[in-house]
């Protein structure tokens, strides 16, 4: 359930989640820091202040659901789940290791709190829609939230799901677009320009709202707005910074999917105010 929604406390948690992300990916030697760091504030607000959920009973029938459609950002999801008590925090350091339940993309059958196995871009959005429609058929008042990448919406499946969601009036479905403007091959406007995203989703029958995805006040207002919308699914377009919080990673496409080396790890930890023993580097 929701607990402490004090913004100062949430900012402290967001800082700690960023530390987790960098450590996990460094220890693993691979992973996706850029798009994990850009989602931090949204994920923290969701799991501390929005979702109905119970870490002691992950399959609680009345829970809200969250699907990370951009599954490569698994480190931010794993950190949040660990810090909410779904599994021990020390499990984070097993990211991508053989036999770890924390692989490079989320696995529904392996990790407590993961609602859908994702990684093939676009598919998580369809899964989330199916969940939302199923909850409506069961007359549940639970909601479904799904996070998409801005590069991910190049996938045609996203637009099929968007059309279906509006057709079936899935107003219990809220999509969050991590709009950091960079995908693995470069700027989204050069790779495949999907603008104007808000107008396109509106044309498909969605309600849309654009926010600063690192501003907790705007994030709070957006989720409250989403719950108030009736008869339409909602899209929150969150303007974010890829690699947010680590100066040399911010707005750099090369940090989409690589781990820092020892010196970069040390520099990132220094920026986050964390002392790292030399023997751990």
Give the CATH number for residue 202: 3.40.50.970
What is the predicted pLDDT for the residue at 161?
A: 98
What is the predicted pLDDT for the residue at 275?
A: 87
| pLDDT tens-digit readout, 98-114 | 999 999 999 999 999 99
The pTM assigned to this predicted structure is 0.96
Domain boundaries, position 19: 7-280
Residue 44 phi/psi, 5-degree rounding, is: -65, -45
Is 78:97 a contact under the CB 8 Å cutoff? no
Q: Does residue 2 lie in a domain region?
A: no
Q: Does residue 238 lie in a domain region?
A: yes
Q: Does residue 251 lie in a domain region?
A: yes
The string of DSSP codes covering the chain is ------HHHHHHHHHHHHHHHHHHHHHHT---HHHHHTTHHHHHHIIIII----TT-TT-TT--EEEESSGGGHHHHHHHHHHTTSS-GGGGGGTT-TT-S--SS--TTTSTT--S---STTHHHHHHHHHHHHHHHTT----EEEEEETTGGGSHHHHHHHHHHHHTT-TTEEEEEEE-SEETTEEHHHH-----HHHHHHHTT-EEEEEETT-HHHHHHHHHHHHH--SS-EEEEEE--TTTT-TTTTT-GGGSS----HHHHHHHHHHTT----GGG-
Rounded Cα gap, residues 233 and 79, in angstroms: 28
| pLDDT tens-digit readout, 212-241 | 999 999 999 999 999 999 999 999 999 999
What is the predicted pLDDT for the residue at 4?
A: 63
Q: Does residue 121 lie in a domain region?
A: yes
Q: Does residue 1 lie in a domain region?
A: no
What is the predicted pLDDT for the residue at 20?
A: 98
Residue ranges of the chain whose pLDDT lies below 50: 1-2
> Which value, to the nearest 10 degrees, does the dihedral of the CA atoms of residues 280, 14, 208, 114 take?
60
Q: What percent of the chain has pLDDT over 90?
A: 95
Q: Does residue 142 lie in a domain region?
A: yes
* Overall domain count for the chain: 1
Written as six digits, the tokens of 73 are: 């950002």
What is the predicted pLDDT for the residue at 61?
A: 96
Q: Does residue 72 lie in a domain region?
A: yes
What is the predicted pLDDT for the residue at 40?
A: 98
Q: Does residue 14 lie in a domain region?
A: yes
What is the predicted pLDDT for the residue at 59?
A: 96
What is the predicted pLDDT for the residue at 92?
A: 98
The set of long-range contacts for 91-98, using a CB threshold of 8 Å and a minimum separation of 24, is 92/20, 92/23, 92/24, 93/23, 93/24, 93/27, 95/24, 95/25, 95/27, 95/28, 95/31, 96/28, 96/29, 96/30, 96/31, 97/28
What is the predicted pLDDT for the residue at 276?
A: 80
């Amino acid at each position: 359930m929701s607990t402490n929604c004090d913004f100062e406390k949430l900012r402290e948690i967001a800082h700690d989640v960023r530390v987790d992300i960098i450590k996990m990916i460094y220890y693993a030697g691979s992973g996706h820091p850029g798009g994990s760091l850009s989602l931090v504030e949204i994920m923290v607000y969701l799991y501390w202040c929005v979702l109905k959920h119970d870490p002691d009973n992950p399959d609680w029938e009345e829970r809200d659901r969250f699907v990370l459609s951009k599954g490569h950002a698994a480190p931010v999801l794993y950190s949040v789940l660990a810090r909410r008590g779904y599994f021990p925090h020390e499990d984070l350091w097993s990211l991508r290791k053989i036999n770890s339940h924390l692989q490079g993309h989320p696995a529904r059958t392996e990790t407590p709190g993961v609602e859908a196995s994702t990684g093939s871009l676009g598919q998580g959005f369809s899964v989330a829609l199916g969940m939302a429609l199923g909850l409506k058929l069961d007359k549940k008042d639970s909601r479904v939230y799904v996070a998409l990448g801005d590069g991910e919406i190049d996938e045609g499946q996203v637009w099929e799901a968007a059309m279906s969601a509006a057709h079936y009036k899935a107003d219990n479905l809220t999509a969050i677009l991590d709009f950091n403007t960079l995908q693995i091959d470069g700027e989204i406007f050069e790779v495949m320009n999907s603008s104007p995203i808000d107008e396109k989703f509106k044309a498909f029958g969605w309600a849309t709202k654009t926010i600063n995805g690192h501003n907790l006040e705007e994030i709070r207002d957006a989720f409250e707005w989403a719950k108030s919308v009736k008869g339409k699914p909602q899209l929150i377009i969150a303007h974010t910074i890829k690699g947010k919080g680590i100066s040399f990673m911010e707005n750099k496409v090369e940090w989409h999917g690589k781990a820092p080396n020892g010196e970069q790890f040390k520099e990132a930890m220094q920026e986050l105010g964390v002392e790292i023993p030399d023997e751990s580097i």
